[in-house]
Amino acid sequence: MSSCQSGRLAGGLSRHRAGHPSRRQEHRTGRRPPPHSLSGEQAALLPQISRAVFRPMPAHLSAAELRHPTAAGSGQSSCRPQASVAPGAREAVLAGPALRPEGQLMRIGIVTGEYPPMQGGVGAYTAILARHLSATEDVRIFSTEAAHSADIPLTNTLRSWGYGSLRAVADWAQTNQLDVLNLQFQTAAFNMSPWVHFLPDVVHQVPVVTTFHDLRYPYLFPKAGPLRDWIVHHLAGASTGVIVTNHEDAIQVNYLPRHQLIPIGSNITNALPADYQPGEWRTRAGATESDFLLGYFGLINRSKGLDTLLNSLAQLRTNGVPARLLIIGGTTGSNDPTNAAYLKEIEQAINTLKLNDYIHRTGYIEDEMTVGSYLSACDAVVLPFTDGASFRRGSLMAAIHYGCPVVTTTPYVPIPEFVPGENMMFVPASDPEALTRALIDLHANPTLRARLHTGAASLAQHFDWQAISDAYIAFFHRVLEASA
């Protein structure tokens, strides 16, 4: 690192810590806008958003109420942290191409709509990432009152992600003198609130790096159409930097000046014990040694294609394959209200197809070792995503982590790391017949199962959490230098 680089970044950190606004580069200048046009009806919805997000504050509110809105209509947003002192002093450990003075820890604030003990992939991912980042940096978390942390300083007094949450986050960032704010974004994790899309417009004193867990969007406004795409791309364009977790989203943000693809890792990370016996776990799942045990892991969500898997299971039984299904987890999670309706459809399908005797459901499992033991006991893990295999799928990452033979759906974009027939098998999405044919082949070919196991175990190295943490730190350095 040159002395010039060191001086520039030191000055940038000093300005943030002193509470002065950073000179963030405006992405809008010279930026090619995303190719989305709005109809007259859709454009008419724009004032609904702008009025809701940037509406004048009521005249009767005091200055204190403006800084800390109460729960009335906007969510409680005082910033009293659950834990205000970082656990233990840490010496600085420089990771990657360090662009800060030696001994200066980067103060990272992470804003997330989901965090343990809340159920969901974004919360689990954020908790693991925060632990790895905190090994070398000063990390703080901001979430709702349902979140708790025993090891990372956490502000958890927010009740909802209404308008007041924007001001609450801005105050929290300034109070904690952050160097960089990382928004872990997925619309469902923020209860589909439109306000969070405007966080970079309100937080001016610190660079905002948004991690998009996917750029897709659930229901936001009726008849919104491209407006829903616009609001997500607004968040991307207003952010100082953007991290995406998959190839599909990387294509969509390549017009931005600072973006990075950083894959997610498995949310289930424990190694199997030395005395692990798969037969014991197959017995718990109601399977014998001769059964063809299929595993499904994760929340019940329409995009995961469990209905396709159920139809395929019925076809396998009809074709004489002794298939059984182990549903690991299989709850609706904490944030997506559509999951409950889909679960009812799944229950009805199980009854209609008369599959109850061939399915074992674990329910929610908190212990990682138990999840890993069940996954590793399966002859194959089947993940028939309706939108294709992707880096963004935590359940796929978990199956890869444990070296499971995986049958999933063909990616919508090329993913060089996924090699069909070597580290996983591909079938068309929403095609039970094609899935059945692939599983019949896999059942009859133990050599193929062994090859997929070896390939998945080798692929797992690509999603190492330490490498993910290092990539985050390097990207934060890049953003800070651009903002200094």
Ordered domains of the chain (ranges, CATH): 3-26+104-265+465-483 (3.40.50.2000), 278-463 (3.40.50.2000)
- The tens place of each residue's pLDDT in the chain, 484 residues long, gives 444 444 434 444 544 454 444 434 344 333 444 444 455 544 454 454 444 444 333 333 333 332 333 333 334 433 334 443 333 322 222 233 334 456 689 999 999 999 998 888 899 999 999 999 999 999 999 999 899 998 899 998 898 999 999 999 999 999 999 999 999 998 888 888 889 999 999 998 999 999 999 887 655 455 566 777 788 889 999 999 999 999 999 999 999 999 999 999 999 999 999 999 999 999 999 999 999 999 999 989 999 999 999 999 999 999 999 999 999 997 887 667 788 999 999 999 999 999 999 999 999 998 999 999 999 999 999 999 999 999 999 999 999 999 999 999 999 999 999 999 999 999 999 999 999 999 999 999 999 999 999 999 999 999 999 999 999 999 999 999 998 8
Calculate the CA 45 to chain-centre distance. 29
The neighbouring-strand residues paired with 244 are 212, 261
Tell me which residue of 274, 312, 306 sits closest to 292, measured CA to CA. Answer: 312
Alpha carbon distance 125, 444 (integer Å): 36
Crossing angle of helices 446-459/394-401, nearest 10°? 110
Question: DSSP per residue over 182-211, as a string?
Answer: EEEE-GGGGTT-SGGGGHHHH--SS-EEEE
pLDDT of 61? 32
Other Cβ atoms closer than 10 A to 325: 26
182 phi/psi in degrees, rounded to 5: -110, 115
pLDDT of 227? 74
pLDDT of 104? 81
Ordered alpha helix ranges (H), 304-431: 306-318, 338-352, 368-377, 394-401
253 phi/psi in degrees, rounded to 5: -110, 15
pLDDT of 334? 66
CA neighbours closer than 13 Å in the CB half-sphere of residue 88: 8
pLDDT of 215? 83
Tell me which residue of 144, 196, 190, 137 sits closest to 170, measured CA to CA. Answer: 196
pLDDT of 44? 53
pLDDT of 333? 74
| 3-class SS of residue 265 | coil
Q: Which tokens go with 417? A: 């790391």
